[in-house]
Structure 1
Amino acid sequence: MGFELIVTNGTIVTASEVLSPGIEIGVKNGKISCLGMFLPRSDNTLVVDARGGYITPGGVDSHVHFAQDNSPTGDNFTTGSRSSIAGGTTTVIAFASQKKTETTVIRCVEEYHTRAKDQSYCDYGFHLILSNPTPQIMATEMPLLIEQGITSVKLYMTYEPLKLGDAQLLDVLMSARTLGFTTMVHAENSDIISLISTRLEASGHTAPYFHAISRPQIAENEATYRIISLAELTDVPILIVHMSSEIAMKHVRKAQTRMLPIHAETCPQYLFLLSERLKATHGDAFEGAKCVCSPPLRHDPKDLEAMWTGIANGTFTVVSSDHAPSTYGHSGGKKLGLKGDVMRYRDIPNGVPGVETRLPLLFSYAGREKDSRLSLQRFVQLTSSDPAKLYGLEGMKGSIAVGHDADIVIWYNEKELKDGVTIRQSELHHGVDYTPFEGMRVKNWPRLTFLRGKKVWDRDNGGVVGDVLDGKFLKRGKGKIVVGRTGGEVKGMLAGERNYWC
Structure 2
Amino acid sequence: MSFDLIITNGTIVTSADILDPKVEIGVKDGKIIALGYSLPRGPKTQVLDAEGAYITPGGVDSHVHLAQAESPDGDNFETGTRGAIAGGTTTVLAFASQRRTDDSLFPVLEAYHGKARGQSYCDYGFHFILTNPTKHIVNEELPVLVNKEGISSVKLYMTYEPMKLDDRAILDIMMAARQLGITTMIHAENSDMIALITERLEARGLTDPFYHSVSRPQIAEGEATNRAICLAELTDTPVLIVHVSSEMAMNHIREAQTRMLPIHGETCPHYLLLLSERMQAPDFEGAKAVCSPPLRHDLRDLSAIWRGVANGTFTTLSSDHAPTKFSSPYGKTLGMKNGFPVFRNIPNGLPGIETRLPLIFNQTIGPNAKISLTQFVQTTSTKPARLYGLGGVKGDIAPGYDADLVIWYPPGHRFAADPDDTAGLCISASMLHHNCDYTPYEGMKLMNWPRYTIIRGQIVWDRDNGGVIGSKGFGEFLKRKKGSVVTGQTGGLAQGMMDGERELWL
Normalised to the residue count of structure 2, the TM-score between the two structures is 0.97
Give the structure 1 partner of residue 418 of structure 2.
none
Separation (CA, whole Å) in 2 of partners of 1:81 and 1:355: 8
User: Equivalences for 1:47-196 in 2 at 5 Å?
Assistant: 47-146=47-146, 147-196=148-197
Q: What amino acid is the match of 2:491? A: G
Separation (CA, whole Å) in 1 of partners of 2:496 and 2:28: 56
Q: What amino acid is the match of 1:263? A: H
User: Equivalences for 1:178-217 in 2 at 5 Å?
Assistant: 178-217=179-218
Give the structure 2 partner of residue 472 of structure 1.
476
1:228 and 2:232 correspond: no
Separation (CA, whole Å) in 1 of partners of 2:112 and 2:398: 31
2:172 aligned counterpart, secondary structure: helix
1:390 and 2:391 correspond: no
Instruction: String of CA shifts for 1:472-493, please: whole Å, max 9, x gaps.
Output: 0000000000000011112222
Q: What amino acid is the match of 2:40? A: P
1:381 and 2:401 correspond: no
Q: List structure 1 runs of 4+ shifted beyond 6 angstroms.
A: none
Report if aligned partners of 1:189, 1:223 keep a CA contact under 8 Å in 2.
yes
Report if aligned partners of 1:243, 1:249 keep a CA contact under 8 Å in 2.
yes
Give the structure 2 partner of residue 306 of structure 1.
304
1:363 and 2:361 correspond: yes
Give the structure 2 partner of residue 447 of structure 1.
451
1:5 and 2:5 correspond: yes
Q: What amino acid is the match of 1:62? A: S
Separation (CA, whole Å) in 2 of partners of 1:105 and 1:198: 35
Q: Which of the numbers 331, 334, 343 marks the counterpart of 1:333?
A: 331
Q: What amino acid is the match of 1:210? A: Y
Shift of 1:295: 0.0
Consecutive unaligned residues of structure 1, counting only runs of 5 or more, are: none
Separation (CA, whole Å) in 1 of partners of 2:434 and 2:411: 26
Q: What amino acid is the match of 2:169? A: Q
2:249 aligned counterpart, secondary structure: helix
Shift of 1:370: 3.5
Q: Which of the numbers 405, 423, 446 marks the counterpart of 2:402?
A: 405
1:434 aligned counterpart, secondary structure: coil
Shift of 1:340: 3.0
Shift of 1:157: 0.2
Number of paired residues? 498
Shift of 1:419: 3.4
Separation (CA, whole Å) in 2 of partners of 1:251 and 1:93: 26
Separation (CA, whole Å) in 2 of partners of 1:207 and 1:392: 42
Separation (CA, whole Å) in 2 of partners of 1:302 and 1:108: 42
2:94 aligned counterpart, secondary structure: strand
Separation (CA, whole Å) in 1 of partners of 2:61 and 2:482: 17
Separation (CA, whole Å) in 2 of partners of 1:388 and 1:499: 31
User: Equivalences for 1:212-291 in 2 at 5 Å?
Assistant: 212-281=213-282, 284=283, 286-291=284-289
Normalised to the residue count of structure 1, the TM-score between the two structures is 0.98
Q: What amino acid is the match of 1:349? A: P
Separation (CA, whole Å) in 1 of partners of 2:161 and 2:105: 19
Separation (CA, whole Å) in 2 of partners of 1:414 and 1:73: 39
Separation (CA, whole Å) in 2 of partners of 1:51 and 1:391: 34
1:63 aligned counterpart, secondary structure: strand
Q: What amino acid is the match of 2:138? A: M
Report if aligned partners of 1:62, 1:92 keep a CA contact under 8 Å in 2.
yes
Q: What amino acid is the match of 2:379? A: L
Give the structure 1 partner of residue 26 of structure 2.
26
Instruction: String of CA shifts for 1:143-179, please: whole Å, max 9, x gaps.
Output: 1111211110000000000000000010000001111
Q: What amino acid is the match of 2:200? A: R
The sequence identity of aligned pairs, in percent, is 62
Q: Which of the numbers 436, 442, 452 marks the counterpart of 2:440?
A: 436
Shift of 1:108: 0.9
Separation (CA, whole Å) in 2 of partners of 1:458 and 1:419: 22
Q: What amino acid is the match of 2:443? A: G
Instruction: String of CA shifts for 1:76-116, please: whole Å, max 9, x gaps.
Output: 00000000000000000000000011111111111000000
Instruction: String of CA shifts for 1:230-271, please: whole Å, max 9, x gaps.
Output: 000000100000000101100000000000010000000000
Q: Which of the numbers 462, 466, 472 marks the counterpart of 2:466?
A: 462
Q: What amino acid is the match of 1:484? A: G
2:484 aligned counterpart, secondary structure: coil
More deviation, 437-446/331-340:
331-340
Shift of 1:356: 0.5
Separation (CA, whole Å) in 1 of partners of 2:447 and 2:135: 51
User: Equivalences for 1:406-421 in 2 at 5 Å?
Assistant: 406-417=403-414, 418-421=422-425
Give the structure 1 partner of residue 342 of structure 2.
344
Report if aligned partners of 1:86, 1:429 keep a CA contact under 8 Å in 2.
yes
Report if aligned partners of 1:72, 1:333 keep a CA contact under 8 Å in 2.
no
Report if aligned partners of 1:395, 1:404 keep a CA contact under 8 Å in 2.
yes
More deviation, 455-464/99-108:
99-108
Q: What amino acid is the match of 2:41? A: R
Q: What amino acid is the match of 2:455? A: L
Report if aligned partners of 1:409, 1:446 keep a CA contact under 8 Å in 2.
yes
2:253 aligned counterpart, secondary structure: helix
Consecutive unaligned residues of structure 2, counting only runs of 5 or more, are: 415-421
2:413 aligned counterpart, secondary structure: helix
Shift of 1:336: 1.0
Q: What amino acid is the match of 1:394? A: G
Separation (CA, whole Å) in 2 of partners of 1:153 and 1:491: 26
Separation (CA, whole Å) in 2 of partners of 1:414 and 1:158: 45
